[in-house]
Amino acid sequence: MTARTAFWTTLTDPLIRQNPVTLQILGICSALAVTTSLATALTMSVSLTVVLTLAAGVISLIRRHIPDTIRLIVQIVIVASLVIVIDQILQAYFAQISRALSVYVGLITTNCLVLGRTEAYARYHPPLPSMVDAFGNGLGYSLVLIIIGAIRELFGRGQLFGHQVLPLADAGGWFTPLSLMLLAPSAFFLLGGLVWAVRSVRPEQVEAPEFAPPPRPEAAE
Amino acid sequence: MTDAWSFFLFAAFVDNMPLTLFLGLCTFLALSRRTESAIGLGIAMTGVLGVTVPLNHLIYQGLLAPGTWAWAGQPDLDLSYLSLIAFIGVIAATVQLLEMLLDRFFPAIHAAFGVFLPLLTVQCAILAGSLFMVERNYTLGQSTIFGLGSGVGFAVAVVMLSAIRTRLAYADLPAGLRGLGIAFILTGLMSLGFASFAQMAAAP
């Protein structure tokens, strides 16, 4: 029973409480670039979760055989091979999405999230818990990507998954698309807002201030 | 000459790595708390990008691109799917070599860089420089300029962000926005500024 709860916590912790993107600043690079539409965000989330889970499993299996000094290179080669497989699959079956994702699928190799989890968790734990942890982190990453992707596509084009949800003003409806939502800055604003929202709900994540003003003289009395 | 210069400006400002392409954000945000570390990161990025992009160009065109093995009787051989592993290997080796050279000849600079140098192996922006070079079919000269230009663009952006964040230490922010939250919003504002460079490039 306790083993099962431990698994459950490992899986659900990274969703909000230990979210890799909003709390640990891992894997943001790709998180923002591919979120202009929900379809690309979803493809990216699935690709990353698959790579992360498999990489954690493989690395954890051979964790006792990797010499410490060259472990980074070994890990990168394992991750890169998995990414090549995913990239080839995407090019073969989802050519259009693969073009939209451009170099960002290849960049999963250097995604800090993948190396962060294999370095911090898979190196010390047996395969099954490592894969559960990796899967949970992949889900946490996907959650952020899907939220931002949905907001940007909905307000930038009035669409979800390419279907018109809000009727456009050009076509006789009432919605005027906010083209800012499709540009780079909006992704930063949305993610900043998301971080703010999560930390308002969970105040224990708030960072300590770097500088506190001295107490006012009248307050000291 | 003017072509090379305008291409350099394009790589540095219009295609700015962190602000318009979202690349290398992890280190961009993590190391922009202090101006000194931001400057060190900027110099290291420029050096590594300037070396690895042309080097990867030579490897790609000489060994991996479709048709390069025609002289060996293999005109249909296409090894371009191996480029990811080749590039990451070159980057890891370059970073290691740079670290050893600096340690041997300029120990003071090496000490100043500290942990950033090995970290650059897993920097998205550096791998992306090589991947863009392949995707956009740059020549050797272009890829050298592109590598140096995007390194300088990264350096400018990270130093600017660190300057703003040092000031922000004295600002009274809402608790949830402190640190990471405000850094994102600042980056968004800077990215708005850099978007105007794209407009200038689009206008003749």
| Residue ranges covered by each domain of chain B | 2-202
Q: Give CA A31 to chain center in angstroms.
A: 5
User: Would you state the pLDDT for residue B39?
Assistant: 84
Residue B84 pLDDT class (50, 70, 90 cuts): confident
Which is nearest to A132 in space by CA: A29, A32, A33, A56? A56
| % chain A with pLDDT above 70 | 86
| B49 min Cα distance to partner chain A (Å) | 15
Helical axes B35-59 vs B124-135, angle rounded to 10°: 30
**A102–B contact, CB cutoff 8 A:** yes
| % chain B with pLDDT above 70 | 93
What's the full length of chain B, in residues? 204
Distance CA B91, CA B59 (A): 12
Within 8 A by CB and 6+ apart from A52, the residues are: A113, A114, A117, A134, A135, A137, A138
Residues of chain A found within 8 Å of residue B175, distances taken between Cβ atoms? 199, 203, 206
**B61–A contact, CB cutoff 8 A:** no
Beta bridge partners of A159: A164
What are residue A26's phi and psi, to 5 degrees? -115, 135
Highest mean pLDDT among A13-17, A121-125, B169-173, B189-193: B189-193
How far from A113 is each of A30, A53, B136, B159, B200, CA to CA, in Å? 10, 11, 27, 25, 35
8 Å CB contact between A159 and A152:
no
What are residue B79's phi and psi, to 5 degrees? -100, 15
Distance CA A94, CA A43 (A): 9
User: Would you state the pLDDT for residue A220?
Assistant: 47
User: Would you state the pLDDT for residue A104?
Assistant: 77
User: Would you state the pLDDT for residue A178?
Assistant: 77
The residue ranking higher by pLDDT, B11 or A212, is B11
Is residue B160 scored above 70 in pLDDT? yes
| B75 min Cα distance to partner chain A (Å) | 21
Is residue B113 scored above 70 in pLDDT? no
| % chain A with pLDDT above 90 | 0
Distance CA A53, CA A83 (A): 12
Please tell me whether residue A78 adopts helix, strand or coil conformation.
Answer: helix
User: Would you state the pLDDT for residue A181?
Assistant: 76
User: Would you state the pLDDT for residue A126?
Assistant: 85
Which is nearest to B54 in space by CA: B95, B13, B87? B87
What are residue A66's phi and psi, to 5 degrees? -85, 120
Q: Which helix (H) or strand (E) holds B12?
A: none
What is the chain A residue with the closest CA to B34?
Answer: A210
Is residue B51 scored above 50 in pLDDT? yes
Is residue A221 scored above 50 in pLDDT? no
Is residue B150 scored above 70 in pLDDT? yes
Distance CA A36, CA A183 (A): 8
Question: Which candidate in A85, A207, A211, A216 is best for mutational testing of the B interface (most B CBs within 10 A)?
Answer: A207
Task: List for chain A the helix, strand, coil content (%; round to 5).
Answer: 70, 5, 30
HSE (side-chain half, CA atoms, 13 Å) at A133: 23
Residue A208 pLDDT class (50, 70, 90 cuts): low
**B177–A contact, CB cutoff 8 A:** yes
Is residue A212 scored above 70 in pLDDT? no
Distance CA A108, CA A114 (A): 8
| B73 min Cα distance to partner chain A (Å) | 26
Residue A1 pLDDT class (50, 70, 90 cuts): very low
Distance CA A179, CA A9 (A): 40
Beta bridge partners of A175: A168
Which is nearest to B7 in space by CA: B133, B130, B134, B143? B143
Go through A190-203 and write b for each residue having 16 or more CB atoms within 10 A of its CB, e for each that does not.
bbbbbbbebbeeee
| A182 min Cα distance to partner chain B (Å) | 12
